[in-house]
Structure 1
Amino acid sequence: MHLKTEDLIRLEIDFDSGVIPPPYSHMFKLKIGFGKNFLDTTLDLIYTDREELTEEEIFDEGFTTDDNFHFHGEIPKVWETPLKSLYAKSKWSNNKSNEDGGIRILAKDSHGKISRTVPLNQQEWQLFAQDYIQAIYESSKKERPLQLQYLIRENDKEIAIQLQVKFLLRNVEVSVNGEIKEGDWDNTKELLSYVFLPDYDYGKAQEQQPKKSGHFIECGDGFWHEMGKGVINIDDSFDAVTKIKNGFQKLI
């Protein structure tokens, strides 16, 4: 049953990673209440099935023994419209649960009606939930806003682009050679989807800003990578490196 979007007062997003092995396997529940001035939000994130792993095996994969996370607080109302829009356009499975993992939705409206459904557009819901959790991390100071730098040095010219992505506010700030302007959220999200696709060769990276000609990217960790040499496409059928170059050039 699909409730009327304008009557919604609460959404719960349940996720289970399914057959993914530990230490990556996890589940989370997002409870989001639509208040007057903010979204009343609770997140419980739990990593599962780790009892079969040693601490060393967990550390080797970049995790710790205390990765579970709980949050309760206020998320800005700017997230309400995109969430309700996603709910409104979604199509639903006849199943009440998803045995293979994925997203389940519980919706409650102002008339007391409750709907438990599985969305068919699983990827959209999972990507939205990831972004929303990133907003929670910023709100709780667990993580800072994402910052990227991109440097173009060619034809005796230098263009320095800085990109700051604030998930909490769904806001993008673009600086081109020190001139600051507001970026487009959806276009930036598309660019980010390309940025994290290639392979980054840290053996060829450098900590100082490059002085030679070329295109270079720094993904917030202090290491500069040269596009096409230190940033390499993993899939020959998809040229993510060119997508990244074109995306940053459009910001100029």
Structure 2
Amino acid sequence: MNSSKSSYTGLVLEYDSGIVPPPYSHVFRLAMDWTKGSLSVALDLHYTEREELSEEEILDEGFTPNDDYSHKGALDSVWIKPLQQLYDKSRWTNKDIEEGGITVSPIEKGKDEGVKIPANQEEWQLMAQDLIQAIYETVKKEAPLKVNYRLVDNEQTTDCSVTVHFSNRQVIFEKNGTSRTINWEYAIQLMKLVFTPDYHYEMAKEEAGKKRGAYIDCGDGYWHELGKGVVNIDPSFDAVGKIKAGFEDLVSD
């Protein structure tokens, strides 16, 4: 079936992490319906194979003994168009996903039109992660992601921040007390870069640096100096330099 925007009014995403070990291994089903123009969602997320782990082992990995989550409710309708655009541009494959992956089922006139396996797995998995984060923000389970940045140059200090609101796909950039909305895709790419390098927490401080340099706080209250406490993992990819360039572009606009 070759669905178009006008013929389907919902999507069901089902994901299995596959060969990922516990406590990380999980499955989820995310059903979305925009029949009436608004977006209703139903999420069922379940972590798997944890019975072989002790509670201490689960806690040591940053989880809790019960991270399963179910929710039914509404999401901001701003998510409908990106979902439709991703679905309409996707190509489908018969490739087996036994080792983990995501499937997409279009809903037309209330009926499931069959399971499709997207060739662009990463795009769909990222979309699903963004939608789940949007749910968590909407129900106040988690706060929006806020990254703080300080640039000290020639005795001038510039403080700024980027706050990503998944709930309504808005990103707020704030500098010296003034704020503006910035491009969603630009911000998401910048956030991916932010979490690419290696952060040495033994060098982190609770206050931003005052000496010449660039400093970042990824939302946990710890400040790291780029190039010293934050270093590239892959020598062929200068993530640290790209982070600096990304924030400097925002600061200079």
With structure 2 as the length reference, what TM-score do the two structures score? 0.96
User: Identity over aligned residues, as a percent?
Assistant: 47
Q: CA deviation at 1:172?
A: 0.6
User: Structure 1 203/113 Cα, relative in aligned 2: closer, same or farther at 3 Å?
Assistant: closer
Question: Aligned partners of 1:19 and 1:53: how far apart in 2?
Answer: 16
Structure 1 counterpart of 2:53: 53
Give the number of aligned pairs. Answer: 251
What's the C-alpha RMSD, in Å, of the aligned pairs? 1.3
Q: CA deviation at 1:37?
A: 4.3
Q: CA deviation at 1:111?
A: 7.9
Structure 1 counterpart of 2:119: 120
Q: CA deviation at 1:36?
A: 3.1
Question: Is the 8 Å Cα contact of residues 103 and 119 (structure 1) preserved in structure 2?
Answer: yes
Residue 15 of structure 2 corresponds to residue 15 of structure 1? yes
Question: Is the 8 Å Cα contact of residues 37 and 76 (structure 1) preserved in structure 2?
Answer: no
Question: Aligned partners of 2:249 and 2:84: how far apart in 1?
Answer: 30
Residue 249 of structure 2 corresponds to residue 250 of structure 1? yes
Question: Is the 8 Å Cα contact of residues 105 and 112 (structure 2) preserved in structure 1?
Answer: no
What do the CA deviations read for 1:121-157 (whole angstroms, capped 9, x no partner)? 0000001111111100001111001111100001121
Aligned AA (2:81): T
Question: Aligned partners of 2:163 and 2:60: how far apart in 1?
Answer: 30
Structure 2 counterpart of 1:83: 83
50-59 or 39-48, which moves further after superposition?
50-59
Question: Aligned partners of 1:226 and 1:111: how far apart in 2?
Answer: 53
Structure 2 counterpart of 1:187: 186
Residue 197 of structure 2 corresponds to residue 221 of structure 1? no
Structure 2 counterpart of 1:204: 203
Q: CA deviation at 1:12?
A: 0.2
Question: Aligned partners of 2:151 and 2:229: how far apart in 1?
Answer: 15
Question: Is the 8 Å Cα contact of residues 149 and 162 (structure 1) preserved in structure 2?
Answer: yes
Aligned AA (1:162): S
Question: Is the 8 Å Cα contact of residues 14 and 27 (structure 1) preserved in structure 2?
Answer: yes
Structure 1 counterpart of 2:165: 166
Counterparts of 1:13-52 in structure 2, within 5 Å, are: 13-52=13-52
Gaps of 5+ in 1: none
Question: Is the 8 Å Cα contact of residues 10 and 34 (structure 2) preserved in structure 1?
Answer: yes
What do the CA deviations read for 1:82-124 (whole angstroms, capped 9, x no partner)? 00100000001136x6322200111111384613110000000
- The DSSP-based 3-state class of the residue aligned with 1:116 is coil
Question: Aligned partners of 2:60 and 2:2: how far apart in 1?
Answer: 44
What do the CA deviations read for 1:15-73 (whole angstroms, capped 9, x no partner)? 00010011110001100001434211011110001111111111111111110011111
Question: Aligned partners of 2:222 and 2:230: how far apart in 1?
Answer: 12
- The DSSP-based 3-state class of the residue aligned with 2:204 is coil
Aligned AA (1:13): L
Structure 2 counterpart of 1:178: 177
Q: CA deviation at 1:237?
A: 1.4
Question: Aligned partners of 1:176 and 1:111: how far apart in 2?
Answer: 47
Q: CA deviation at 1:14?
A: 0.2
